[in-house]
A = this chain, B = another copy of it.
Amino acid sequence: MSLDAVLARIDDQLPAATDRLLELLRIPSISTDPAYADQCSDAADWLVADLNSLGIKAEKRETPGHPMVVGHVDGDGPHLLFYGHYDVQPVDPLNLWENDPFDPRVEDTPNGPVIRGRGSSDDKGQLMTFVEACRAWREINGTLPCKITFFFEGEEESGSPSLVPFMQQNADELRADIALICDTGLFQSKTPAIVTMLRGMVTEELTITGPRVDLHSGFFGGLAMNPIRALSGILADLHDETGKVTIPGFYDNIPDLTDQVRDQWEGLDFDWQGFLGSVGLSEPAGEKGRMPLEMIWSRPTAEVNGIWGGYTGDGFKTVLPAQAHAKISFRLVQGQDPLAIRKAFQTFVRDRLPTDCTVEFKEYGASAASVMETADPAFEAARQALSDEWPDEAAYVGCGGSIPIAGHFQSILGMNAMLIGFGKDDDAIHSPNEKYDMESFHKGTRSWARILDALCKG
């Protein structure tokens, strides 16, 4: 059977595949720092060359920022698009790294060998799991299993400014039957997972002004409105005693979990005590009566991400400040319209403003939640393929964060997306001493071979 041969080839070639990844990791493609623009371009060149060596017609495509890499290979069966990003996070603080972040190496650890270096997990190592699966497939079968478009970005760690325009300008070229995205992790570092829902987000800054100038709290205190008091009252009002957000209409149109999803999530045996305990907490602080996984995956939130006003330096100053400020974000779920939530929040604030206070809003980003069409048979095929590779059965999971690319595939290209990745919680992405387990790299590559087989044999 050809899949077995491909898997055996992956096993055999693991040292060579690791060497290739180390080569890519040596290129310091830090996208957010203009000083590394050439290195970002070098990483794109490296990928173009590597794809070309697989018989894929690939090229570096310029953007106003760092280049995209797009490659195509023809074939029968479904048309897949694979997305990953070749740029990496900055490496500060450098003194906390045990080795040069761009002199990657394989290290033995008590938990097995790891590939250590910036980008090993996020996302060069993950990106290469798919490329290596394709390489092994081709080496065994002479061709790739189906029509595949490769789409690599170089600005993911710096806000992806060129991504949406590029997708819009090249929509016909990029559109495929389904997108595969490898930039996520194993559930609880162990269970292979397909992310089927991502929360959206609305972010907003508000400034409440009371008096025209800062006042002396001796002369005015007791008589003049303090905007920090107004702000505290409004923020305190955002949640009721059961942890629910009190903004009118906030929960309208949010579907409840289906019994099927609820059963699946209950089956995941989420170790929420361990998850919270790792950061010094003991009790879920969300809506009473909801599962902890619901709180982070399928229920919306209102969080104050920053607050400031008055005197915040050393010592004491009895000022009664003119202004108080807060930055607030709402994580959104299926059914919530970001702009409606923004408007409802602004109304909520205005309705609670005391006399003599005014409010100004500064609007930051707004994006809706993404929910994948798991009815697409590709999902069940991929889930089965992952289950065949890993000890645990693969799960459909949510993700409390926002991964905008999945939404872009949906909204710009009308494509469903499967987010499958092999990172672990201790990979230290965005931190010093980033690593990717050799198990993640090896079984990740094998997983993609199995998924390609499952999706393309149909």
A: which residues have CB within 8 A of B? 199, 201, 203, 205, 210-213, 215-226, 228-229, 231-233, 235-239, 272, 275-276, 279-287, 292, 295-296, 299-301, 303-312, 315-321, 324-327, 329, 331, 354-356, 364-365, 399-402
The 21 listed contacts between A and B (C-beta, < 8 Å) are A201-B318, A210-B281, A211-B281, A212-B279, A213-B279, A217-B305, A220-B400, A222-B285, A222-B295, A222-B300, A222-B301, A223-B284, A224-B285, A229-B236, A233-B236, A281-B356, A306-B310, A306-B321, A307-B324, A316-B327, A318-B329
Query: Which secondary structure dominates where chain A touches chain B?
Result: mixed
Q: How far is the CA of A18 from the CA of B311 in the complex (A)?
A: 39
Does A400 contact B211, Cβ atoms closer than 8 Å? no
Does B400 contact A222, Cβ atoms closer than 8 Å? yes
Whether A316 contacts B220 in the complex (CB less than 8 A), given A282-B356, A304-B310, A305-B310, comes out as: no
Whether A318 contacts B354 in the complex (CB less than 8 A), given A219-B400, A304-B229, comes out as: no
Does B283 contact A356, Cβ atoms closer than 8 Å? yes
Does B327 contact A310, Cβ atoms closer than 8 Å? yes
Does B307 contact A203, Cβ atoms closer than 8 Å? no
Q: How far is the CA of A365 from the CA of B225 in the complex (A)?
A: 24
Closest to A402 in B: B218
Does A319 contact B306, Cβ atoms closer than 8 Å? yes
Contacts of A317 in B (CB 8 A): 305-306, 327
Q: How far is the CA of A377 from the CA of B365 in the complex (A)?
A: 69
User: How many whole Å from A101's CB to the nearest CB in chain B?
Assistant: 21
Q: How many copies does the complex hold?
A: 2
User: How many whole Å from A253's CB to the nearest CB in chain B?
Assistant: 18
Does B218 contact A283, Cβ atoms closer than 8 Å? no
Contacts of A225 in B (CB 8 A): 281, 283, 285
Q: Which of B228, B272, B283 contacts A304 (CB 8 A)?
A: B228
Contacts of A275 in B (CB 8 A): 223
Q: How far is the CA of A210 from the CA of B281 in the complex (A)?
A: 7
Contacts of A365 in B (CB 8 A): 316
Does A311 contact B327, Cβ atoms closer than 8 Å? yes
Does B272 contact A218, Cβ atoms closer than 8 Å? no
Does B224 contact A276, Cβ atoms closer than 8 Å? yes
Does B232 contact A304, Cβ atoms closer than 8 Å? yes
Q: How far is the CA of A296 from the CA of B238 in the complex (A)?
A: 31
Apart from A216-B401, A221-B329, A310-B327, what 15 extra A-B contacts exist at CB < 8 Å?
A217-B303, A219-B296, A219-B401, A221-B296, A222-B296, A222-B400, A224-B279, A224-B281, A232-B307, A236-B236, A281-B356, A305-B310, A306-B310, A307-B308, A316-B327
Q: How far is the CA of A442 from the CA of B28 in the complex (A)?
A: 76
Contacts of A319 in B (CB 8 A): 305-306
Does B309 contact A309, Cβ atoms closer than 8 Å? no
Q: How far is the CA of A356 from the CA of B279 in the complex (A)?
A: 11
Closest to A272 in B: B223
Q: Which of B217, B224, B226, B315 contacts A331 (CB 8 A)?
A: B217
User: How many whole Å from A267's CB to the nearest CB in chain B?
Assistant: 19
Does A303 contact B226, Cβ atoms closer than 8 Å? yes
Contacts of A305 in B (CB 8 A): 217, 310-311, 316-321
Q: Which of B283, B299, B315, B400 contacts A355 (CB 8 A)?
A: B283
User: How many whole Å from A205's CB to the nearest CB in chain B?
Assistant: 8
Q: How far is the CA of A155 from the CA of B217 in the complex (A)?
A: 22
User: How many whole Å from A235's CB to the nearest CB in chain B?
Assistant: 4
Does B309 contact A307, Cβ atoms closer than 8 Å? yes
Contacts of A216 in B (CB 8 A): 401
Contacts of A218 in B (CB 8 A): 199, 201, 331, 399-402
Does B312 contact A308, Cβ atoms closer than 8 Å? yes
Closest to A300 in B: B222
Whether A285 contacts B356 in the complex (CB less than 8 A), given A303-B320, A311-B305, comes out as: yes
Closest to A292 in B: B223
Interface centre among A216, A301, A324 (most CB of B within 10 A): A301
Q: How far is the CA of A279 from the CA of B238 in the complex (A)?
A: 30
User: How many whole Å from A268's CB to the nearest CB in chain B?
Assistant: 15
Closest to A233 in B: B236
